[in-house]
Amino acid sequence: MAKYVVFCASLKKQVLRGELLMAKSGARSGAKVGIKGGWGQLIWNVSVALYLIANGILGLNKRGDFKIIFDFVFKGSFAEMVVMIVSVIALFAGILVLFELFKVKFSFLDELLFIVAIIWAVYIVIEVIYWIRGGVESYFWDIIQKLAVHLMVLGSLFIASKRFGG
C-alpha cells in the first residue's frame, strides 16, 4: 500500500511538471515529452501565442489596436505600411512562441525571438506615447491593464528566448 501511495505522489508531481510516464511506449519512465515546462507554462505560452496571432490577423485585416495606434501616431500610407509590418511580426512571433513551446528547434529561433521581443518593447513605447498624447480616453486603470498585457507578452517572448534564461 505504501508503494502505491508513493507511486501516486510521484505520478502527480510528474503530471504537474508536464512529464509523462512512457513505460507503454518503451521510453524510460519519467521521460520529458512534448512541452517545455509544466501545465502553467503550456497555458501561458498558448495564450500569449493566440494573443499575438489574433493581433497579427486583425492588423492584416486593418482592424484592431495596431491600426488605431499607428493611425494616430503616423499619417497616411506610412501608417498602413507600419500596421502591416507590425501585424506580420506579431503573427510570426505567435508562431515562434508555439514552436519554442513544443521544442521545435531551429538554429536561429532564439535570435528571432529576441529580435521580436525588442520590436515589441518599441511597440510598447509607441503605445505609451499614444496614451500620453491623448489618443485614448480611458481611465488610469484601463491604461494599466493594457500595459500589463503588453508586459506579459514581452516577458513571455524573453522567456521563450534563451538569451534571458528561458
* CA-CA-CA-CA torsion sign (95, 118, 82, 150): positive
What pLDDT is attached to residue 91?
92
**Where do we find the cell 515589441?**
120
Question: Residue 19: phi, psi to the nearest 5?
Answer: -100, 155
Q: What is the pLDDT of residues 102-135, one digit of tens each?
A: 777 777 777 888 888 888 898 888 888 877 777 6
What pLDDT is attached to residue 8?
44
- The closest alpha carbon to 32, from 43, 20, 42, belongs to 20
The larger pLDDT score, comparing residue 107 to residue 64, is at 64
- Is it the case that residue 6 has pLDDT exceeding 50? no
Asked if 156 contacts 45 with a C-beta cutoff of 8 angstroms, the reply is: yes
The larger pLDDT score, comparing residue 9 to residue 164, is at 164
What pLDDT is attached to residue 58?
92
To the question of pTM greater than 0.95 for the whole model, the response is: no
Q: What is the pLDDT of residues 68-94, one digit of tens each?
A: 888 877 888 888 898 899 899 889 888
Q: What is the pLDDT of residues 134-159, one digit of tens each?
A: 766 667 777 788 889 889 888 888 87
